[in-house]
Structure 1
């Protein structure tokens, strides 16, 4: 399996990739992962690659990703070339506008969403901001989207396996909110 997780700095994309990788390794799978981070602390692009099986390189070649999880629509569109023809795209439709957008209004959300819907036969879209509001915490989008992905079956990871990983990897004081995010993501309505 090949996974691409993308978003902007501060959205938790790296943690999400570590949770997926840890879950797969706990199962005994051979896992390789890598991140490409551009000015991530300032809202720059973040792309995480996860690969299982005999692949030598941790980087997913274009056209080979089985799953693309996009935390932000424009970043998902940028990474769409990685998704294979029958791959699954899971995307939060909630935009994170770049700092430069205050200088000119050039973020065309509806066009981006239409492009994403038409680019893959299996595109699942959710309202990320609404999921986070339901959880009561704006910083759990990553775990909400993992819930969506696990529930869809495309990850090859069950909700129970992800809960076990959360218990191992998340500090105890944050475990309840993350379990809640996982459950809300798993039952999220598609848009």
Structure 2
């Protein structure tokens, strides 16, 4: 399908907006279907994505999800690439899945990560995915009070299994076993509702 794109553009079968949407969907599906492929193959596909589409948050998200599967094996180069793509994308456009992924990346400089995510909070407001990410980052640097605040704000916006489970971990760390158990139950209840 990807090989048909240049001919379709030239033939002007679709309007420019329709073509851009079609092209975006093709590349998103190519990345989603690349489970089990080698990292070099995934990167080869990324190199074929037109420059203007490399700024599309959905395509960036699909690509980052695929290369993240290789990050534990390939190490810091892949992590740096993911961080840079997420950071540059979220600097200009909101994408909830990218914000959520940012909190899971294994960085050496967590304080920098916190500053960047804090800037997004000012730009995009209290988005649940961003509050969850900030809570996770605060836990990793042992800012327990801030982590609690972010998890509570996240959950105040609506039920979220991940936020409940993360909040449970925090409460356990703070030696509040009963409250932790309740958050774990809340998180499990959310997971079974899906």
| TM-score by shorter chain over 0.5 | no
State the structure with more CA Rg: 2
Structure showing greater relative contact order (alpha-carbon pairs closer than 8 Å, 6 or more residues apart)? 1
Greater percentage in strand: 1
TM-score, normalised to structure 2's length? 0.28
Greater percentage in helix: 2
TM-score, normalised to structure 1's length? 0.28
